[in-house]
Structure 1
Amino acid sequence: MAGAGRRSARSRASSSRDDDDTKPNLRPPRGRGRNHTSIGIFNVDLRVLLGLSVIAFFAILFLIYNLINPIEQAQTPRVVTPFPAPKLMDLPQFQGEHKESLYWGTYRPNVYLGIRARAPRSLIAGLMWISIKDGRYVMRHVCQDSDELSKYGWEQHDGRNFGHQVIVDQDMNLATSFLKSKGEDSGYGGDWAVRLYVQNHKSKGYEELSSSAHLFFYLADEDGNALNIGGDTLGIHENSLLASGSRMDIGSWQLHLKSLDDLEVHYAGFKTPHVHNLSDLVQENLGLQVRKFGRLQLPDTSDDSPNILVFQISARTPFRTDVAFISGTGLESPRLEERVGSHTGSSLTSQLKEKQREFDAKFEKSFNLVDKLDSESIVAGKAAIGNLLGGIGYFFGQSKIAISGNMNPGNHDDSILYWPAELYTAVPSRPFFPRGFLWDEGFHQLLVWRWDIHISLDIIGHWLDLMNIDGWIPREQILGAEALSKVPSDYVVQIPTNGNPPALLLALNDLVHGVKINKFTAAETDAISSFLERAFVRLEAWFQWFNTTQSGKEVGSYYWHGRDHTTTRELNPKTLTSGLDDYPRASHPSEDERHVDLRCWMLLAADCMHSIAELFEKENKSGKEYGNKVKLLSDFEILNQMHYDDAYGTYLDFGNHTEKVRLVWKETTVGHNYATRELVREVLESPKLGLVPHIGPVSLFPFIARIIPADSRILEKQLDLISNRSILWTKFGLRSLAKTSSLYMKYNTEHDAPYWRGPIWMNMNYMILSSLHHYSGVDGPYREKARTIYEDLRGNLIRNVVQNYHKNGFFREQYDQRNGKGKGARVFNGWTSLVLLIMAEAYPS
């Protein structure tokens, strides 16, 4: 997964005019006498001239406005012009109580614990702590693999009001719980509380660490509003107030700290607009204290009018402390102490236990796993949905977009900013990909809608509102300083001719089908229907963008645009837009290509649009066009003519291809001084147009799309292909490229290790498993064969993911096809969470 985007300054035309140039001349004409007639004529002329002057004045204003604004608009490229339709997030269902209920949350997935509001400039909170690595103190704050934590992640999270996370850092076990509530006196969005519980286990070499711990809880105001230090922060038992302040959105607020343990609390205040590098500020401050005074503690000093307050909480372990954020009216009333008490101590304990029970009950109702799976699988299943919901974030900023015609993602000079936009979305991985990815989100929503339809619609609505006037959606969203800090500059620029699989339609298709069969409550049906009715025009534009910009030469053919046909360093030019990155396509990209996976994505899109049109009885021209498109793309004979290879017994891409390609070392001279070696591509024979002989998930897309008739011999061949241990099958799941492929596990460049060239990916396995489940329930000669393969593959996937989770503490981006070990990004709580739907046997409609 990678992204793109760029920046340029826009100049505004300006116009100024001397006042004398615009003043009408109201003096009477020369040579006129002052008789009655002339006075009467003057009065009439004066009224006329006054009227004309008013008209002229407004005409000039109109001209000035058009000189400034329309010219600026005309100079704004279409690519950064929003889609001209009412926004989905302006629907009444996303306002009022719904919007307020989701205001606060753990919406900063890039840090181990981060809280913010769903607002562009928010009051944010978070947690840091000190650990020891290689004999040195280090600060933990931002999720990163180099921290080498044994475990972290949300074991339970309801996406709204509650979450429980366990972090294991060497000998320290840190449990964090989040609770949100809304009372009569609460400010907008309600109050929230965080419980921190630290335990240490003594082991050789860590006696000092296991005797004490240093936590740092902070508040920062992105708007720059001053935060006030509370009372006697060192005497926490006498005065629990840490900080206070006020904001336009929530009113007055206070932050309190309560604990029955003996704590030492220190603080520091900072004034800076840069919140994303807060851990650097704290480390520098602590380092200064150590150098000056030899103590590892904050100085109990603050900048003037600080917008960041950091509180160091130190104590011998084990210890527990509660942090309560109280907002709204009545902060000076006698009820304040009662409100603080309800968010701390025994009251908080009771509420957290109740929320845990509610989570467990909702989990069972949503996925119905009891008596179907063992307890270890259920624990992993809860972590799958908990981590996905706990990884939902809120982002605000501007994407960087390549100006049309410049397709070099490394060139940041020729780019422009998208409009300022917000995005509420799940993320694939907190340490590696803590931002929005378009095609990932479609798989995420297959889980989320089954848990909370309203959250799912909210997320999909945010994505569709990012659509520009042409129907294009940037495929990777890198919004705001925190998100940008995690992305190499070469991957920031978004290219407006490039797409990404419209996987959001997987979830929308499910919702449409559910409405048709009366699966939902009346309130849910109303919410889905009103959403789809407003979304229809955007979905039409999205469909047409794909249908025109990604079409091939043959009617009904498509290919992923954006492949680099000039590269001399890639063994096989990547197809990042397909989502399958280095999965091998035609060796020489050209306009003659036909990609079978994109054809099937277009069938899904057309079918979804046709279903929505039927739902609203849109028997108009567009509705019929979608029906005709479904017939064309599901035509079995045409599909076979374009993509089927009888020798391989499967479907293949078509393009300009040769297998005689390799990477070789070549010496080049740099200047007149020295020679260097680089790995470059060497083509040993001319490519020819034809089917591309690489087998993998792409080959199975017609099977995934269920185009193949249940009685076709081709279906049998697909089943044989899936279950062949020499091609795709392993006891851990299906490979992402056939073992027989010439590019199986081959590096694509000197440093690009194989990605979609062998390892097991959960999203594709889930889609294949879904169709196995479908064909196992359809009458036909291969029904039992499909059932046997389905049960074996399902068991292999569940067993391997669950074992890896309990052994290593994480879900992983992919799994090794040779030994089943997790690899790629750790804490990959995106589509690997689909293992829960596999457990529940819940598949797309």
Structure 2
Amino acid sequence: MSGNGRRTTRSRTKSATDADGDDPLRNTKPNPKLRKDRNRAHNSIRIFDVNLKVMLGVSVFAFFVIFFLIRRLVNPAEEVRRPRVVTPFPAPKIMDLPQFQGEHRESLYWGTYRPHVYLGIRARTPRSLLAGLMWIGVKDGRYAMRHVCQDSDELSTYGWTHHNGRDFGHQILVDQDMTLATSFLKSKVDGSGYGGDWAVRIDVQSKQSERSEDMLRTAHIFFYMADEDGHALSLSRDNLDVHEGSLLASGSRMDVGGWQLHLKSMDDLEVHYSGFKTNHIHNLSELVQENLGAQARKYGRLQLSDTSDGSPNILVFQVSARIPFKTDIVFVSRTGLQSSGVEERVNSLTGTSLTSQLKEKQREFDTKFEKSFNLADKLDSESMIAAELYTAVPSRPFFPRGFLWDEGFHQLLIWRWDVHISLDIIGHWLDLMNIDGWIPREQILGAEARSKVPEEFIPQHPTNGNPPTLILALRDIVHSLKRNKFTSTESKEISSFLERAYVRLEAWFQYFNTTQSGKEMSSYYWHGRDVTTTRELNPKMHLDNKYGAYFDFGNHTEKVRLHWKENMVGNNYATRELVRQVLERPELRLVPHVGYVSLFPFMGRIIPPESWILEKQLDLISNQSILWTDYGLRSLSKTSSLYMKRNTEHDPPYWRGPIWMNMNYMILSALHHYSKEDGPYRDKARAIYDDLRGNLIRNVVRIITRLGFCGNNMIKERQGKGARVFTGWTALVVLMMAEAYGES
């Protein structure tokens, strides 16, 4: 059998019965009528064939059009295919979990979420109502506007002394001889809108202990409201006499409904205002300064113009009074209803009522602080300085935005304070993951944040990974979950979080295993290094038996330096720049520079407690000629040829000697671990641990006592270095005090 009975005209053969002579039909003359009928039939079939093809084509086209329209209706927000780097990871969002909705979400809606200004309030929404504080300070005999946190303002100290991360905060700002204390409080009562109401108390005092003429001088503070969506704000009246009424401004938004801003004070205040219509809210300081300057030149008075642009989306209120004075500013939401009880809500957030609530919140904070970190039994009699605890930014003046690897160290503190807030923050970071498992190293959101970042640091490359330190906090949370440290409700929510987060954590792990891998199996190398530049002096882990230390491995030479080179620019003048000069050809070898990188297996606690390698690591740590100082462990050995050497002309020593608190915490944590493990080096680890812990705590306390702030790193002369007011991972000193290391 051929398997197919079909035959083509090419394969047909002529049979004997097909002969003309044997077929009477073939020998008869054609019938004209029959031919006509056949032609009609044939023509009809041919025309039907053509129509069928056209109809099929139209039908297929219509099907795809209808399918596309239905898909667009079902998914109206579907976007055009995007590059992989901005394609979200295909998994349910962690922040869609029920525990992050409802009351939890609303309770965190308003907050001091503008860390780059001295006092800034906004909602957790992309485009929000903004509120903030400015004041006029004096520098070098000249007036200067204070608004954005910056080192050049030279404030003696500022920062939150109390902040619970939810509804209360208190900070002190010392500017020359003037001290401002700002308090923030939220309230959710019947009648208030989404997110509730909030109040700000501003208490202005003089640093002078005795009354003097200086103490009686006039101070000028400015409080503003701005709408990022451009909605018009309404001024209550042209004559802002606080004794006639407390209402300053009002407006309406979809999220909170109608709202009002009120001001109350028992002191004699003078209030002026200005209204602006602009999309560039991040330039608000300049707008106010220009208005004040014009008034000063025209009338010789340092006051706002009491005028407004049409339909302003920014209103600024100037409050002037003799020091000392105090004022309460209240924001109330959902004011459009008669039953909203606006007056009662304003009264409950001002005056003696506000005072008692702030005292109670401060007492609750102190109680929870002691319960969370249990410092009373851990410290000697040396005086301690209150430090801010709740922060998701490393430094308000220098780094007022989220950094991925900093965030893991922040969460080591925050989860112990409020695990719900910690999971909220970690969930947001993990939800930023793209389809390849990459998470951007920084979050530079909005014009205000971008204004603080140099342009060259804004682009981020998905091939460059950032250390996954969030795992440190998650590890501690899991260990505490196993030890039943949480309530039943908290345990269920943490378990739900981990279940939802697992697929993203796995993708993150695979991202590092694929994009950061080396040529050898299970090896890694530094991705993102510029191997073509001649302007860097930067050699970018392997165990050396001789040193008992772990070293980088790669092309390296010790005979390299930065030297000045002159370049001619045209025929006019010469310029000088530092360029790298290699005096000996590099070769594949261990890079003999002992530093933090030599201790990472130790920090990870993966060295067996009975291993001779552990003894060598302890010797490196305690050697004063290598890493040990009386203030903490150096980042690079004094014996290194790169110790305290510049990396480029414009890049001073950073990880080449200074003492970093995050790495010292990791080392201290490992010392604490090995001091409790059975092994021959247990006592040695304990002795080093006690000495290092004492040195670090004393150094940080002395720096804060003397300077009023802490830096992001330190040097041996007990100086805070790097970014000023760097609470970030330097706040890990609290965990050192509490001896909280997340032991398994």
TM over 0.5: yes
1:242 and 2:208 are equivalent in the alignment: no
Instruction: Give the structure 2 partner of residue 834 of structure 1.
Output: 732
Q: Indicate which of 134, 143, 148 corresponds to 2:140.
A: 134
Give deviations 1:765-785, integer Å, cap 9, x for gaps: 000000000000011111111
1:511 and 2:410 are equivalent in the alignment: no
Check the 8 A contact 1:747/1:753 in 2, yes or no.
Answer: yes
Check the 8 A contact 1:449/1:507 in 2, yes or no.
Answer: yes
CA–CA distance in structure 1, aligned partners of residues 640 and 653 of structure 2: 13
Instruction: Give the structure 2 partner of residue 797 of structure 1.
Output: 696
Alpha-carbon spacing, 1:374–1:183, altered in 2? closer, same or farther (3 Å): farther
Check the 8 A contact 1:233/1:240 in 2, yes or no.
Answer: no
Instruction: Give the structure 1 partner of residue 38 of structure 2.
Output: none
Aligned-pair distance for 1:76? 2.6
CA–CA distance in structure 2, aligned partners of residues 328 and 63 of structure 1: 42
Instruction: Give the structure 2 partner of residue 17 of structure 1.
Output: none
CA–CA distance in structure 2, aligned partners of residues 367 and 448 of structure 1: 11
In structure 1, the gaps of 5 or more residues are 1-45, 392-425, 573-584, 587-595, 597-642
Check the 8 A contact 1:231/1:239 in 2, yes or no.
Answer: no
Alignment of 1:371-386 (within 5 A): 371-374=377-380, 378=384, 380=385, 382-385=386-389
Residue identity matched to 2:64 = A
Aligned-pair distance for 1:62? 4.9
Q: Indicate which of 661, 664, 674 corresponds to 2:560.
A: 661
CA–CA distance in structure 1, aligned partners of residues 617 and 207 of structure 2: 53
Give deviations 1:380-435, integer Å, cap 9, x for gaps: 3x4141xxx1x4xxxxxxxxxxxxxxxxxxxxxxxxxxxxxxxxxx0000000001
Q: Secondary structure at the match of 1:826?
A: coil
Alpha-carbon spacing, 1:704–1:337, altered in 2? closer, same or farther (3 Å): same
Check the 8 A contact 1:196/1:321 in 2, yes or no.
Answer: yes
Give deviations 1:534-580, integer Å, cap 9, x for gaps: 111111111111000111122221112011111101111xxxxxxxx
Larger RCO, structure (CA 8 Å, separation 6 or more): 1
Q: Indicate which of 190, 213, 238 corresponds to 2:219.
A: 213
1:683 and 2:687 are equivalent in the alignment: no
Q: Secondary structure at the match of 2:281?
A: coil
TM-score by length of 2: 0.89
1:531 and 2:497 are equivalent in the alignment: yes
Instruction: Give the structure 2 partner of residue 751 of structure 1.
Output: 650
Instruction: Give the structure 2 partner of residue 451 of structure 1.
Output: 417
Residue identity matched to 1:521 = T
Instruction: Give the structure 2 partner of residue 395 of structure 1.
Output: none
Q: Secondary structure at the match of 1:132?
A: strand
1:123 and 2:89 are equivalent in the alignment: no
Alignment of 1:110-259 (within 5 A): 110-201=116-207, 211-231=217-237, 233-259=239-265
> % of aligned pairs identical?
73
Aligned-pair distance for 1:803? 1.0
CA–CA distance in structure 1, aligned partners of residues 692 and 337 of structure 2: 58
Check the 8 A contact 2:215/2:324 in 1, yes or no.
Answer: no
Q: Indicate which of 286, 294, 306 corresponds to 1:288.
A: 294
Instruction: Give the structure 2 partner of residue 602 of structure 1.
Output: none
CA–CA distance in structure 2, aligned partners of residues 109 and 499 of structure 1: 26
Q: Higher mean Cα deviation, 798-807 or 643-652?
A: 643-652
Residue identity matched to 2:398 = F
Alpha-carbon spacing, 1:384–1:780, altered in 2? closer, same or farther (3 Å): farther
CA–CA distance in structure 2, aligned partners of residues 837 and 710 of structure 1: 24
TM-score by length of 1: 0.79
Residue identity matched to 1:645 = D
Alignment of 1:296-375 (within 5 A): 296-329=302-335, 332-333=338-339, 335-374=341-380
CA–CA distance in structure 1, aligned partners of residues 227 and 69 of structure 2: 39
In structure 2, the gaps of 5 or more residues are 1-50
Alignment of 1:513-592 (within 5 A): 513-572=479-538, 585-586=539-540
CA–CA distance in structure 1, aligned partners of residues 497 and 270 of structure 2: 52
Instruction: Give the structure 1 partner of residue 85 of structure 2.
Output: 79
Instruction: Give the structure 2 partner of residue 272 of structure 1.
Output: 278
Structure index of larger Rg: 2
Residue identity matched to 2:714 = Y
Give deviations 1:201-226, integer Å, cap 9, x for gaps: 4599x956851100000000111111
CA–CA distance in structure 2, aligned partners of residues 375 and 338 of structure 1: 46
CA–CA distance in structure 1, aligned partners of residues 606 and 68 of structure 2: 59
Instruction: Give the structure 2 partner of residue 820 of structure 1.
Output: 718
CA–CA distance in structure 1, aligned partners of residues 66 and 647 of structure 2: 60
* Count of paired positions: 690
Check the 8 A contact 1:172/1:210 in 2, yes or no.
Answer: no
Residue identity matched to 2:727 = N
Check the 8 A contact 2:334/2:340 in 1, yes or no.
Answer: no
Q: Secondary structure at the match of 1:152?
A: strand
Instruction: Give the structure 2 partner of residue 646 of structure 1.
Output: 545
Instruction: Give the structure 2 partner of residue 699 of structure 1.
Output: 598
Alpha-carbon spacing, 1:767–1:61, altered in 2? closer, same or farther (3 Å): same
Aligned-pair distance for 1:314? 0.3
Residue identity matched to 2:627 = L
Residue identity matched to 1:60 = V
Aligned-pair distance for 1:677? 2.2
Aligned-pair distance for 1:439? 0.4
Measured on the aligned residues, the alpha-carbon RMSD in Å equals 2.4
Give deviations 1:160-219, integer Å, cap 9, x for gaps: 000000000001000000000100111000000000000124599x95685110000000
Instruction: Give the structure 1 partner of residue 41 of structure 2.
Output: none
Alignment of 1:575-654 (within 5 A): 585-586=539-540, 596=541, 643-654=542-553
Q: Secondary structure at the match of 2:332?
A: strand
CA–CA distance in structure 2, aligned partners of residues 86 and 511 of structure 1: 22
Instruction: Give the structure 2 partner of residue 806 of structure 1.
Output: 705
CA–CA distance in structure 1, aligned partners of residues 566 and 263 of structure 2: 65
Alpha-carbon spacing, 1:376–1:327, altered in 2? closer, same or farther (3 Å): farther
